[in-house]
Structure 1
């Protein structure tokens, strides 16, 4: 960059970078005033990078839309669902498990299959269907048997309350 003329040294840029990168660099406008540079994360208003905002950006690029369940933490209509998870009087690992169930991000066979980590999505425990979050936590014969046994000790919701997947379970 020629500091005195406030313009790019296009020859040097084209010498160092690939042509498509050089074109992008040369399109960056140079401020007319002498201001100190700072590093800022564009997707956040405050300019501070966070894993959460990077995840949101990656998902938005992938889906070309707003994130699915995990982004709904910003949606006021769904705020109570996330408050129910994060403010629950349970150990942190239970909160994280609840969040992962609600956002369909458990390491289930179906999620592993979708990422080509495993060859099929069938539940290894009951072999009665694809192992997604709903199956693993609700419909698998072993998870139903476990809940039946747990009802002998604790006051758990009735089976009919487990209708849907993800965040619907929490309502």
Structure 2
């Protein structure tokens, strides 16, 4: 076997899975089968895998060099960093709290120990307890007042360890705690530091119970604000997806197809969520398709775009507008240029299907306006099967949409 062509079934334009599995190591065979193949045969062309568009850039070359010059322990540390900061930035808390926690991780908050190191001050004892030097560990873990605060919050477990480094302690707490606990923990760090500054610069004294009450109160306020924002957002979804199709009169298309994807990175599976509506907003069809060996959510969105086009063809549509919440996939699908990215094979199939329509346009839409398609995809991913229905949606999707309606204000 000398050519890649010998690994492809020309009739079905799919990879020959049995040959791949028997020829390559399991992880290599899996990676090969995740490469999308266009249905139409085309000449080979050079693609740069370091960038999403498929074109070379010095920036991506530099990143690849960094990747291949790291030692294994650096990879572990890098993964820990990514996991921690991903969880931190995804928490629904104020930016000022996230930034404070970020500063703590880099030890760049102005504790007395840091100020002494920079020769700003001479004395570095903790201003509260006066027992030892005030560094990050002391402020957020070891000061008697801080220990009492964590105890009042039922967070004494975060102190029962032998971890010395502040960074290791923070990552350990984030690994051990659920999102709700991490939410409260970050609020605690921020208010402990705020109270320390009020004590130092405003001579405002708060005991541990006062501080813990402030943390609980502030955390509750954030949750309340988050709930109000969520309800307002769901209200918009109800109007956009359930009530009626809005702002369609100025569009030249007769039928609208909304699509979205649900992706599971652990199983490399994704599902398609498709909704077809007429100009009055009535559902003409809904569909979900299960895809295997999908590399990323980016590829999953492209597969759904292809399914949307094929559904339009099978329904005999002459003109339609296709709406998705991936700006990149929408732009690539609308383009007539050859795509060189990892999803180039899928985009080529989408472009080849355009002549079947008298008119077809791809539009970017907000995630909040695409909820029904997403719910269809999400429910199909849970069940592990696809379906096709005319003039409606499945019972499971109806139940999920009903739960969303119940949370909306009247």
Q: TM-score, normalised by structure 1?
A: 0.50
Higher relative contact order (CA 8 A, sep 6+): 2
Greater gyration radius:
2
